């Protein structure tokens, strides 16, 4: 089903210099990530969907710091890591492997006032990675797609036409950045995605 009446804008965390506040705030849905790149004034104030990493030191900071967006203003909060295995979590705590500890449940409590909350499913994350690997060979062996690619895939699969800005396709080497860029270009050619 195509959601032609609703426009979705996904704002990545790459640097954006252009004044876009009016454009950003005109979208029905605006998706941002983690610390929202500091919510600079030139990128508007609207955020209906907040996607948060659930694991590691960044997730710990998100759990312990003040909420970037008031939870009551959010339509949806998505944790971008699937529900963890509780036994492996116990092991990671025992060996103090901070990068693998999960804070998703804490974040869902913190953002309890959002209209809806969920976690990405393991299946959807794995399926997107399989699809991306079908587009070519990555430079490094990827562990999973980036939060940005997951958000794009989520909204496109729901039938929305997605607009994006602030995607630099670089960062942690275990995301398949070059394949994600190909995927976005493919969606653009198919008419499912536009660049702001």
* Distance in angstroms (rounded) separating the CA atoms of residues 110 and 83: 17
Residue 78 falls inside a structural domain? yes
Pseudo-torsion of CA 170, 156, 31, 194, nearest 10°? Answer: 70
* Distance in angstroms (rounded) separating the CA atoms of residues 150 and 179: 13
Residue 61 falls inside a structural domain? yes
Residue 2 falls inside a structural domain? no
Residue 125 falls inside a structural domain? yes
CA nearest to 53, candidates 130, 146, 171, 121: 146
- Does residue 153 contact residue 180 with C-beta atoms inside 8 Å? no
The one-digit pLDDT tens for each residue of the chain (196 residues) are 444 457 899 999 999 999 999 999 999 999 999 999 999 999 999 999 999 999 999 999 999 999 989 999 999 999 999 988 777 766 667 676 666 788 999 999 999 999 999 999 999 999 999 999 999 999 899 999 999 999 999 999 999 999 999 999 999 899 999 999 999 999 999 999 999 9
Residue 1 falls inside a structural domain? no
Residue 133 falls inside a structural domain? yes
Total tally of structural domains belonging to the chain: 1
Q: What is the CATH number of the domain that holds 93?
A: 3.90.1480.20
Residues spanned by the domain of 44 = 7-195
Threshold 0.85, pTM exceeds: yes
């Amino acid at each position: 089903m195509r959601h032609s009446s609703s426009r979705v804008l996904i704002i990545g965390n790459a640097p954006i210099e252009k004044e876009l506040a009016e454009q950003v705030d005109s979208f029905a849905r605006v998706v941002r990530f983690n610390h929202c790149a500091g919510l600079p004034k030139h990128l508007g104030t609207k955020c209906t969907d907040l996607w948060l990493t659930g694991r590691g030191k960044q997730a710990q900071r998100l759990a312990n710091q003040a909420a970037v967006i008031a939870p009551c203003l959010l339509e949806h909060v998505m944790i971008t890591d699937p529900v963890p295995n509780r036994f492996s979590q116990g092991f990671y705590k025992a060996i103090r492997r901070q990068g693998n500890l999960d804070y998703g449940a804490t974040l869902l409590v913190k953002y309890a006032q959002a209209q809806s909350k969920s976690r990405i499913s393991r299946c959807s994350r794995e399926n997107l990675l399989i699809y991306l690997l079908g587009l070519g060979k990555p430079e490094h062996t990827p562990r999973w797609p980036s939060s940005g690619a997951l958000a794009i895939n989520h909204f496109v699969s729901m039938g929305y036409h997605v607009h994006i800005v602030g995607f630099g396709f670089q960062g942690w080497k275990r995301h398949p950045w070059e394949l994600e860029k190909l995927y976005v270009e493919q969606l653009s050619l198919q008419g499912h995605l536009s660049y702001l």
